[in-house]
Amino acid sequence: MIRKPISSGQPKAAASRRTALRAALAGLGAASLAGCDRLSNNAAFVDVLKSTQHLSHGAQRLVAGRKAMAQEFSQADVAAHFKANGTLAPRDADYQALMKDGFADWKLQVGGLVDAPAAFTLAELRAMPSRTQITRHDCVEGWSTIGKWKGVPLSHLLALVKPRPQAKFVVFRCADSMEDPNASADSRYYESVDMDDAYHVQTVLAYELNDAPLPVANGAPLRARIERQLGYKHAKYLMRVELVERFDQIRGGQGGYWEDNGYEWYAGI
Amino acid sequence: MTSPAPNRIYRHRLPVRVMHWINVICLTILLMSGLQIFNAHPALYWGKDSSFAQPWVAIGALNAPGGGVTGVTTIAGHRFSTDGVLGASKVGGEGAKVVRAFPSWATIPGPQWLSMGRHWHFFFAWLFVLNGIAYVAYAIASGHLTRDLLPTRAELRQIGRSIKDHLLFRHETGAAATRYNVLQNLAYLAVIFGLLPLVIVAGMAMSPRLDAVAAGWVDLLGGRQSARTLHFLAATGLLLFVLVHLFEVLINGAWNQIRSMLTGWYVLPVDDKRTKP
């Protein structure tokens, strides 16, 4: 049995040293924790932490190419109830008026950096080519749920409106205010994706969930499906699709409602 | 006793020491920011998606009879009171208890803040993976793997004695202390080539973009929610390893051990049987 000379010879000194060590460790632990919290409020430090999203995006594009497909599932995998999250029923008066008429007066505006801006009714969108896919919806919170979507591929709409070459991002403008709809500040949900995701085969604007018209809780009448990113990219209650060169002058400048609240723009991780 | 062993040996080379301490920082931050992320949805499932009615583990809170909340943890249908630590605890030890799975002293950042926890987690995940790749490359290239980490046949045959020695807190002295013992070898190998790759692969399986690398590869882990469970279990395994590792350091001449990982130099413990009358 090995004993340090100090602990067998000078138990008292060793004990007090142990107490001191323990106190020092506890103090160090508490100080590190407080330090982490201070660093979390330091903009420059947080920028360093957040910079890895570019590394992640680049690396992930390398191993899962621009056109790599998200996993698709079978009918048996579809969840009995597709969990809805975020806004479940927009309180905005203009949305409620549209909803009352079964979205008969609703139109999707598609504009921005395009040569042929257009607006489409729900009936027109339903008459276009469609894609049906059973995919898994992964929330940033950690849960997943599998649903069957039917919608018009975004690439089809883009071909109709003829994007200009300088268009780099597609911005989704939504009907739902995340905060008080009557407040002066605009808090309506918005999101953005790059052209890789905009033209991706599985990027559809969905009007059906599980073979039924898209329920209000899940984004009626139309929502985006961005299958290789987390749930907050899949904007619901779509009103307008806008092609832009940059999004830093839109609202908080980070490219989306949750991005303006600290989440990563690249949500593939 | 055979010839006296040299008193001091150079046990840990500089790259190993540097990578060890980078790993300490990374694992600590990854664990604590991971608990912060877990808190956003404190339940674990097995399968492709979340069977919300049947998590195998869930941490939550109930209304306490006298007002306020009380923390409970449910594992495989059995409910345990974990109030004050899991499910409901005081943030920073102050104020009224709030509903949160892991307490603020175990998470980075302390307050409930998912987006910030993710920033910490992914930054240090990159550092951790790059450090791990560098370590494995170094271990193979320098001979550290074959010389120090892989047990010899003879050492493997001694496994029964090694287990007994550990249970009796009896440790190597003299020349024997210049090498890792066989249980140490097996523990390190299981962590380096088992738990660490598992925690990384299961973490990657939760990334929707990486799921698109090859159709259905995540199903090899049982699906995305199983991957989240495996990520959590592997992290728990790593924490247990660290606790045993720290315990072994503490009972085996803590300062000598820590110093050897700082300076490289380790003082060989003398066999005190020799000094007995």
How does pLDDT run across A26-46, given as a tens digit for each residue? 787 777 888 889 999 999 999
Regarding whether A235 and A111 lie in a shared domain, the answer is yes
In this model, does residue B273 exceed pLDDT 80? no
- Region B170-181: mean pLDDT is 82
Q: Considering only the C-alpha atoms of chain B, give the largest distance between any 2 of them, rounded to a whole number of Å.
A: 71
- Mark which residues 189-218 of A lie under 8 Å from B by CB: none
Do A75 and A167 lie in one domain? The reply is yes
**pTM score above 0.95:** no
Is the pLDDT confidence value at A83 over 90?
yes
Residues A133 and A34 in one domain: no
Instruction: Give residue B50's pLDDT band: very low, low, confident or very high (50, 70, 90).
Output: very high
Q: Is the pLDDT reported for residue A246 higher than 90?
A: yes
> Scanning every residue of chain B, which has its alpha carbon at the shortest distance from the alpha carbon of A17?
B255
Q: What is the pLDDT of residues B220-265, one digit of tens each?
A: 999 999 999 999 999 999 999 999 999 999 998 899 999 999 999 9
* CATH code at B8-40+107-267: 1.20.950.20
Residue A60 covered by a domain: no
Question: Which two three-digit tokens encode residue B51?
Answer: 């069977």
Percent of chain B at pLDDT > 90 equals 77
Q: How confident is the model at residue A15 (pLDDT cuts 50, 70, 90)?
A: low
Contact A2 B120 (CB under 8 A): no
Q: Is residue A172 part of a domain?
A: yes
**CB-based contact B114 A228, cutoff 8 Å:** no
Q: What does the pLDDT read at residue A11?
A: 52
Looking at residue A4, its pLDDT comes to 36
Chain A CB contacts of B232 under 8 Å are: none
Q: How far is B7 from chain A (nearest CA, A)?
A: 15
* Host H or E run for residue B108: none
Can you give the C-alpha Rg of chain B in angstroms?
A: 22
Same domain, A34 and A138: no
Residue A216 lies in a domain: yes
Name the residue range of residue A211's domain.
69-260
d(CA B251, CA A3): 9
Cβ contact (<8 Å) for B210 and A64?
Answer: yes
Q: Is residue A219 part of a domain?
A: yes
Q: Which of A84-93, A174-183, B5-14, B233-242 has the lowest mean pLDDT?
A: B5-14
- As for how many domains chain A has, the answer is 2
Q: What angle separates helix B14-39 from helix B114-142, to the nearest 10 degrees?
A: 150
Binned at pLDDT 50, 70 and 90, residue B272 comes out as: low
Q: Is residue A158 part of a domain?
A: yes
For chain B, counts of helices (H) and of strands (E): 9, 8
| Pair of tokens at residue A174 | 């939504």
Same-domain pairing of A255 and A142 = yes
Q: Where are the domains of chain B?
A: 8-40+107-267, 43-101
Residues A36 and A163 reside in one and the same domain: no
Q: Which domain CATH number covers A140?
A: 3.90.420.10
CA angle B203, B27, B193 (to 5 degrees): 65
Position A3 pLDDT exceeds 70: no
Asked if residue A232 belongs to a domain, the reply is yes
Q: pLDDT tens for residues A46-59? A: 999 999 999 999 99
Same domain assignment for residues A134 and A195: yes
